[in-house]
Structure 1
Amino acid sequence: TYGENIIEEPSAIAQRVGATLAINGDYYGFRSEGIVIRNGIAFRDEGARDGLALYSDGQLKVYAETATDAQQLVDDGVWQAWSFGPGLIIDGQIQDGIDDVEVDTNVGNHSIQGQQPRTGIAMIEPNHYLFVVVDGRAEGYSVGVTMSEFAELFAGLGAQVAYNLDGGGSSTMVYHNDLVNNPRGEGKERGTSDIIWTTGT
């Protein structure tokens, strides 16, 4: 269900939809800006930042939300669009300035700099994707990664496109209904608006 501050733990959403593998998404319900498209339907059209578009042919592309609109994206074949960022890798190249990007400064939530827990999605080639979650904020276990370190991780895995999603305490990965990472260093999930998920073995 789409709406502001409608949240559920990622593992609960994953179980309900029958996901094999799931990560938290962009937490669209926390903000009023950004372009949000789900299953080919535009729910929000307030361009503000780097967006990520998944096309019906399996292409994953980072784009500037302020240079287009939701209807044009749908007309061009976009099936899903997420709004968080920044774009980490475009056309196989790590982007400059990604360690200085701020998100949601209007609500004081801009602590994405430095070493943090991270969630990201990437494409090696159409229909071949990477879901990566890095734990953090847990001394002796994992302090997290910077945005540049996150981009380098994706580059080392062969990503041609990579995009940062909501991180911090939201960073969660679920596989066959089991929580496989350690959110917040406590093994406790944070409720979120959405997940990105796949089915299969």
Structure 2
Amino acid sequence: MDHFRSYSWLKRMLFVIAALTFISSSFLFLTPPGENIRIFLAKTVITTQHRDWAWIFVGAERRDQLVLEVQNLTEINSMEKQNLQAVKYNKDRSMESLVKVEDISGQFWKGKKMYVYDPRTIRVMVPAKQGEGERITSMVERTGAVAGVNGGGFNDPDGLGNGFAPIGAIMSGGEILYTDQEGSIPQHIVGFTKEGTLIIGKYSINELLKLNVTDAVSFYPRVIANGKPLITSGDGGWGRAPRTAVGQKADGTVIFIVIDGRQTHSVGATLKEVQDLFLAEGVINAGFLDGGASSEMVYNNELITKPSSRYGERRLPSAFLVFDHPEEVKVENVWKGLTTIDPGGAYDHPEFLKEQAEKKAKAPKTTPTPKPTATATPTPSVKPESSSDTTGKNGASNPPSGANGGTAKPSPSVKPETSPSASPNAGNQQGNGSTNTGAGAGSATGGTSSGASAEPKPSTAPANTTVPAGQQQGQSGTGNAPSGAPSPTPKAN
């Protein structure tokens, strides 16, 4: 111990760090509880924009197994069709208000819960202009809505997408505004029928039209079906993250839940924690909307939750808004007639570009070192010797140099040597620039991803998404939505 105390503070600190690293690594990799923690962390990362990094906790092979498990569970839970007769609207109930908002909290999270007593007042809203998504506060203010939450997923390169490239389907007012699948292919759907019944699960566009679904977006997973909880063991497999979810009680009341995450005041919730909140309210059908950095709730023109994006509210392709007079709401199809959709990315994200410009301006400027130039140094000329006598010691004259003391001829001046030619390559080297092309990465999902992630590097514009041909009503789409095959795990933005 005395020997340890004799170490400098730096050595002691390094020793402590090494000891803690050894102890924590031994716990995580050599004990069953440690393994459970690593799997939980891997699942959390899998549902973000950076799912590939999950190998750090469990290895690449186990990571791929976890991704497949999540995909399979999502598909299985989406297949059961709903009993549309299970909802019995209580029309005699006095309506004190259109909506009611409450604070909710758990051990690791805080959020908001909003009751909507008449589900027919809920409509899907989309951006006001082509080429760019819209923030929920902007949608609410523009349309005069009472409240709103974020909706479906979207293609989100680098976690910096422009919010204009949806994944799946978008319906509003009975019209198909967007779909990236043909009408017979089932997609993950969260929507409402004309009567106000919440529909969650896998349905094709053709099925939705037959069920009189008027407003819908695409996202998942489903957690309650026909009164049955679908997560019966574990935490749901998606770790902790910001969440947005919707459920409906048997009397028709719709409940929206938004939970903050990836922040000091709120880490985030698991899927099962949200499922349990709904079960406590008597919800009979429930599922998730886009989460991660997209999660937010707006009420009375105020953002009442705290999105995890470092840029604040995100631009989004869809939202569920609540209106006093939903029959008066007109929703324009901003994707109509488009053949390609640019999802955006780091190369055109305004806040990101501004941030990078500010960092560049604050960075210390370095003076470039000048390159040496090869030049010849001339030999200095030799001055001619003076012909005048010089006085020696004791006043005696020193004879000029010459044979036998004769008068010496003045030495001729030596001409300077000519400068040697510089090497033909000297001083002429130039750096050849090479073009680096970055690639954008994206996912929605919710996605999303992304929030609490490493700063993305700027990239070149990703290739525009091509809209598949043969879509209903001439709608456009990306090619990344869930289809009849196992769907990719959505990434929280």
Q: Same fold (TM over 0.5)?
A: yes
What's the counterpart of residue 83 of structure 2?
none
- Cα shift readout 1:19-67 (whole Å, capped 9, x = no counterpart): 11110111346566423322211221524653223111111121213xx
Q: What displacement does 1:199 show?
A: 2.4
What's the counterpart of residue 17 of structure 1?
143
Greater percentage in helix: 2
Which of 158, 167, 174 matches 1:40?
Answer: 174
What's the counterpart of residue 192 of structure 2?
54
Q: 1:152 to 1:187 in 2, by over 3 A?
A: farther
What's the counterpart of residue 303 of structure 2?
179
What's the counterpart of residue 316 of structure 2?
192
Query: Does the Cα contact within 8 Å between 1:36 and 1:70 map onto a contact in 2?
Result: no
- Structure 1 Cα separation of the partners of residues 201 and 229 of structure 2: 15
Give the % identical residues: 28
What's the counterpart of residue 84 of structure 2?
none
SS at 1:150 equivalent: helix
Give 2:272's aligned amino acid: S
Q: 1:187 to 1:128 in 2, by over 3 A?
A: farther
- Cα shift readout 1:74-124 (whole Å, capped 9, x = no counterpart): 132011122111111111222138824xxxxxxxxxxxx210000111111
Query: Does the Cα contact within 8 Å between 2:155 and 2:167 map onto a contact in 1?
Result: no
SS at 1:89 equivalent: strand
- Structure 1 Cα separation of the partners of residues 309 and 212 of structure 2: 39
The more displaced of 148-157 and 186-195 is 186-195
Give 2:214's aligned amino acid: W
What's the counterpart of residue 142 of structure 1?
266
- Structure 1 Cα separation of the partners of residues 205 and 309 of structure 2: 37
Query: Does the Cα contact within 8 Å between 1:116 and 1:137 map onto a contact in 2?
Result: yes
What's the counterpart of residue 106 of structure 1?
none
SS at 2:275 equivalent: helix
Which of 207, 212, 220 matches 1:77?
Answer: 212
TM-score by length of 2: 0.35
Q: What displacement does 1:11 show?
A: 0.5
- Cα shift readout 1:105-148 (whole Å, capped 9, x = no counterpart): xxxxxxxx210000111111364101110001112x11110111
- Give yes or no for the alignment of 1:163 onto 2:287: yes
- Structure 2 Cα separation of the partners of residues 180 and 72 of structure 1: 36
Query: Does the Cα contact within 8 Å between 2:246 and 2:286 map onto a contact in 1?
Result: yes
- Cα shift readout 1:144-197 (whole Å, capped 9, x = no counterpart): 101111111121222111110001110110000001011117692111111101
Q: 1:179 to 1:125 in 2, by over 3 A?
A: same
Paired residues, what number?
184
- Structure 2 Cα separation of the partners of residues 154 and 188 of structure 1: 28
Q: 1:48 to 1:117 in 2, by over 3 A?
A: farther
The more displaced of 56-65 and 4-13 is 4-13
- Give yes or no for the alignment of 1:91 onto 2:226: yes
Give 2:175's aligned amino acid: I
Q: 1:169 to 1:137 in 2, by over 3 A?
A: same
Task: Answer with 1 or 2: which has the greater Rg.
Answer: 2
- Structure 1 Cα separation of the partners of residues 291 and 213 of structure 2: 24
Query: Does the Cα contact within 8 Å between 1:28 and 1:194 map onto a contact in 2?
Result: no
Give 2:223's aligned amino acid: L
Q: 1:191 to 1:161 in 2, by over 3 A?
A: same
- Structure 2 Cα separation of the partners of residues 89 and 167 of structure 1: 18
SS at 1:184 equivalent: coil
Query: Does the Cα contact within 8 Å between 1:19 and 1:199 map onto a contact in 2?
Result: yes
Q: What displacement does 1:72 show?
A: 3.1
Structure 1: state its 5+ residue gaps: 101-112
Greater percentage in strand: 1
What's the counterpart of residue 7 of structure 1?
133
Give 1:22's aligned amino acid: G
Higher relative contact order (CA 8 A, sep 6+): 1
- Structure 1 Cα separation of the partners of residues 311 and 199 of structure 2: 32
Query: Does the Cα contact within 8 Å between 1:14 and 1:195 map onto a contact in 2?
Result: no
Give 1:85's aligned amino acid: Y
Structure 2: state its 5+ residue gaps: 1-125, 157-164, 325-493
Give 2:254's aligned amino acid: Y
Query: Does the Cα contact within 8 Å between 1:120 and 1:163 map onto a contact in 2?
Result: yes
The more displaced of 162-171 and 56-65 is 56-65
The more displaced of 125-134 and 186-195 is 186-195
The more displaced of 171-180 and 182-191 is 182-191
Give 2:174's aligned amino acid: G
Give 2:212's aligned amino acid: G
